[in-house]
Chain A
Amino acid sequence: MLSVQDTNTPVTFSPELISKFADVVSRYPVGKQKSALLPILHLVQAEYGWVSAPAMDSVAEYLSIQSIEVYEVASFYTMYFLKPQGKYMLEVCRTGPCEIVGATPIMEHIEKTLGVKEGDVTEDGLFSWRGVECLAACGFGPVLQIGPEYTFYENLTTGSVDKLIGDLKAKANN
């Protein structure tokens, strides 16, 4: 089942996560720790599946910046999910070069197979899907990616999408 994080209580990051944060911060000059914001938000999303307001507040506290500085960044960049998603978020490229080799039929097939509209989560909490803009793999379209590893699936067909969804279901149920 989809585990929805309680958004009324503050988020405390694990020591492992904090040490990853510290490693990122060490890449920048002293006093420029705000540069670590994007990489840290990726780490938070990989851990929790999305970026909640309390998590952003804790990131702000960690980086000694204002919460709004985190909110405005998280809402600007398309990769950060501001609400919970399925365990596997299928992001299908819908831009020009992928479109002319069949991105739309792939998205229609995913919608039909999963039975949820773009941006919604399947009942078992496993899947979401959405169309995204160019993923820089235009020679191998249609393509989709799945975070947090951002594994790539190229030259998609309805058959290969069915297999992918089946494999992910099997993986999740094991």
Chain B
Amino acid sequence: MARKLLLEHINVPGINTFDVYRSKGGYAAVEKALKTLTPEEVVEEVKKSGLRGRGGAGFPTGMKWSFLAKPEGVERYLVCNADESEPGTFKDRFLMTYIPHLLIEGMIVASFALGAKTSYIYVRGEMMPQIRILEKAIAEAKAKGFLGKNILGTDYSLELYVQPGGGAYICGEETALLESLEGKRGNPRIKPPFPAIAGLYGCPTVVNNVESIAAVVPIINDGGEEYAKIGIGRSTGTKLISAGGNLKNPGVYEIDLGLPAEEFLYSDEYCGGIANGKRLKAVVAGGSSVPILPANLFLKTVNNEARLMSYESLADGGFVSGTMMGSGGFIAYDEDQCIVRNTWNFARFYHHESCGQCSPCREGTGWMEKVLHRLEYGHGKMSDMDLLVDVSKKIEGNTICPLGDAAAWPVASAIRHFRDEFEWHVTNAYEATTRNYGIAHYADPLNAVVA
């Protein structure tokens, strides 16, 4: 049974209220940090923990904090990124719904470490119920003296507010989020300057994912070194994985990083295998942006080693045969799913969500969507696959923010690994509108594919 750092008390009745959360040891990290540690010591613990940003980029959180500029007399801000919109990811919604005080506690500790006097939680606008839950939790914490002026009788004061978004995937990109928080369109900013130097209102700002902030609580309670003992290599600690798609037991799971992918997928403790007794065809391991892998390459690397749920192991093989941890949005596809249709669906998503600022992304995503649409609906050409790869390469790396890359990777990887399925949509155009390609060789032992 895996240990739980974030979700330990998730099933306790009333854990969403301050009193029950407190009775389970909640807000101990606030007491410890504010009464016994300096802000620098808190940053040091987070550095020692090896915690990496849980929103998708995987950048070390402690290092991000240490980059924060601290000019005299200038406000500093902590902004929590709760604009969870990556297809496949729903862990932050889960955490905010069931254990909101964990996020509030993490926000207080992190704000203290960064010297922020006002902090914001930017929640995607569709999550109005979660916004109300968080606002209630904030009011409770404030009434008990954990927020507001002179928290727990110390010199430290903090105001915490929840900000709703307006329904735009792009606002999960940190500079677009800051633009949105300033009441503007969510157009990402050119970096540098990074938010650590000039973020919200031009002031030094740290933007962290919900799960990263929540993880600060066990790190402060148990110490960074203890946290770093969990996991494998540079993938320390536990990670929330949102598991969806054709799974027997979809849901949010907290895993020790380094858990074998096969165990995660098939063990009854986690996903319990594929629903309705079907076979696994493909996996998107970390949210729609990361490269899709056929079943055989997901379960094993090309070196025939077992794939692990860690940043390094998932990325083993690079873009040729690996993928990424991303945000932990795990989508499983059974043998009856059509990869062309799925790729078209994702391309449509990115076209819809492109902010339109950079031409390669604005035009390229729409172009890819149209080509994929004609492939799916029986009007494709054999040259379309190369065309798609060409367009994706011209988007990748040529945009201000990573949405362009995020749109390019799923298309390029689907063609790389499932090219024969795409070709079948051209050669058997009519048949492809009446049935799906099936599992083909995608679950066969690896050497058959690689050879």
Q: Which residues of A pack against B, CB within 8 Å?
A: 27, 29, 32, 34-39, 41-42, 63, 65, 69, 72-73, 76-80, 94-97, 99-101, 132-141, 145, 147-152
Contacts and interface: CB of A to CB of B under 8 A. Distances in A.
Contacts of B89: 136, 138
Contact of B128 (A38, A41, A96, A148): A148
B166 A38 contact: yes
Contacts of A99: 341-342, 345
The 5 closest A-B pairs by CB, nearest first: A77-B166, A79-B167, A37-B183, A138-B244, A139-B250
B201 A137 contact: no
Interface in B324-376: 329, 331, 333, 337, 341-342, 345-346, 349, 352-353, 355
Nearest to B341: A99
Contact of A96 (B181, B252, B331): B331
Contacts of B168: 76-78
A29 B245 contact: no
Q: Specify the main secondary structure of chain B where it touches its partner.
A: mixed
A110 to B, nearest CB: 18
Contact of B345 (A35, A78, A96, A138): A96
Interface in B36-86: 75, 84-86
B126 interface: yes
Interface stretch (B157-165, B216-224, B315-323, B381-389): B157-165
Contacts of B169: 133-134
Contact of A79 (B90, B126, B243, B337): B126
A89 B113 CA distance: 43
B333 A150 contact: no
B166 A79 contact: yes
Given A35-B183, A96-B349, 10 more contacts: A42-B166, A76-B186, A78-B166, A97-B245, A133-B169, A133-B349, A136-B89, A137-B93, A138-B331, A139-B252
Interface in B160-191: 161, 163-169, 180-186
B126 A100 contact: no
Contact of B87 (A27, A95, A147): A95
Contacts of A73: 166, 183-185
B307 interface: no
A132 B127 CA distance: 14
Contact of B90 (A36, A76, A137): A137
B129 interface: yes
Contacts of B84: 136
Given A95-B87, A139-B250, A150 B129 contact: yes
A83 to B, nearest CB: 16
A133 B288 contact: no
B19 to A, nearest CB: 26
A22 to B, nearest CB: 14
Given A34-B182, A137-B93, A152-B129, A27 B161 contact: yes
A95 B161 CA distance: 30
6 contacts: A32-B201, A36-B183, A77-B167, A78-B168, A96-B284, A138-B250
Nearest to A78: B167
B251 interface: yes
Contact of A80 (B166, B346, B353): B166
Contact of A139 (B75, B242, B355): B242
Instruction: Name which of B75, B89, B244, B355 has the most chain A CB atoms within 10 A of its CB.
Output: B244
Nearest to A135: B126
B288 A32 contact: no
B298 to A, nearest CB: 16
B124 interface: yes
Contacts of B85: 133-134, 136
B251 A139 contact: yes
A38 B163 contact: yes
A32 B201 CA distance: 8
B236 interface: no
B346 A76 contact: no
B93 A136 contact: yes
Interface string B182-225: 11111000000000000001000000000000000000000000
A104 to B, nearest CB: 10
A100 B201 contact: no
Contacts of B352: 133
B256 interface: no
A94 B345 CA distance: 8
A96 B250 contact: no
A38 B186 CA distance: 11
Contacts of B87: 95-97, 133-134, 138
Contact of A136 (B90, B120, B245): B90
Contact of B331 (A79, A80, A97): A97
A151 B331 CA distance: 24
A136 B127 contact: yes
B423 interface: no
A77 B127 contact: no
A96 B288 CA distance: 8
Interface in B114-130: 118, 120, 124-129
A113 to B, nearest CB: 23
A96 to B, nearest CB: 5
A38 B129 contact: no
A39 B163 contact: yes
Nearest to B131: A150
Contacts of B181: 35
A63 B245 CA distance: 44
Given A37-B183, A138-B88, A77 B125 contact: yes
B353 to A, nearest CB: 6
Instruction: Name which of A36, A39, A136, A141 has the most chain B CB atoms within 10 A of its CB.
Output: A136
